[in-house]
Amino acid sequence: MKIRVGFGFDVHPLESGKDLWLGGLKLPAAKGAVGHSDADVLIHAICDALLGAANLGDIGTHFVNTDARWAGKESSYFLGEVTRMVLAKGWTIENVDCTVTLEMPKLKPHIPAMKRILAPLMNISEDDISIKATTNEKLGYVGRTEGLNAYAVALIARKG
Ligand code: MG
């Protein structure tokens, strides 16, 4: 059995009047994330962790952020495609562990729903997905609610 780990990071700015998509869910929030797609930092970080583990480049390689096809695109589509690419190389996804840093809203009540959305996209069980959240203790751009971050690690495995 060969195993590999991958790491992903993403950041997007926050602005009033925008939607906040996180983990495939649209959350009630005073500010939303700005980006070419739906700016779902959590899914983008997971995509990069999976692509990194399989040595398949990064999300920007496959979904260029100047391509009109991806304008406003739901990031769940990207995760489904990334999973397809990883599985096509003979890997299975074992687990992902993620942390989102943002000041508001509180994510904890929404995490079970995010897991329900993300699990089938990666062909894994909800128990194989960990999503954690922390504020940035009011420090820096996250603390000033100018942006949010997501970090993810993914483990993949295959025979041989
Ligand atoms: Mg992104």
What CATH number did the domain enclosing 69 receive? 3.30.1330.50
pLDDT at 88: 98
pLDDT at 80: 98
Burial of 46 (0-12, 13-18, 19+ CB in 10 A): buried
Buried b (16+ CB within 10 A) or exposed e, 28-42: ebebbbebbbbbbbb
In the reported structure, the alpha carbon of residue 99 is separated from the centroid of ligand 1 by a whole-number distance in angstroms of 15
> pTM of the predicted model, to two decimals?
0.97
Taking a 5 Å cut-off on Cβ, the residues next to ion ligand 1 are 10, 44
pLDDT < 50 positions in the chain: none
pLDDT at 13: 98
In the reported structure, the alpha carbon of residue 24 is separated from the centroid of ligand 1 by a whole-number distance in angstroms of 13
In the reported structure, the alpha carbon of residue 75 is separated from the centroid of ligand 1 by a whole-number distance in angstroms of 9
Distance from C-alpha of 38 to C-alpha of 13, rounded to nearest angstrom: 12
In the reported structure, the alpha carbon of residue 66 is separated from the centroid of ligand 1 by a whole-number distance in angstroms of 13
R_g (Cα) of the chain, nearest Å:
15
133-145 pLDDT, tens per residue? 999 999 999 999 9
In the reported structure, the alpha carbon of residue 34 is separated from the centroid of ligand 1 by a whole-number distance in angstroms of 9
pLDDT at 145: 97
Domain that holds residue 62: 2-158
pLDDT at 20: 97
pLDDT at 141: 98
In the reported structure, the alpha carbon of residue 10 is separated from the centroid of ligand 1 by a whole-number distance in angstroms of 5
How many domains does one find in the chain? 1
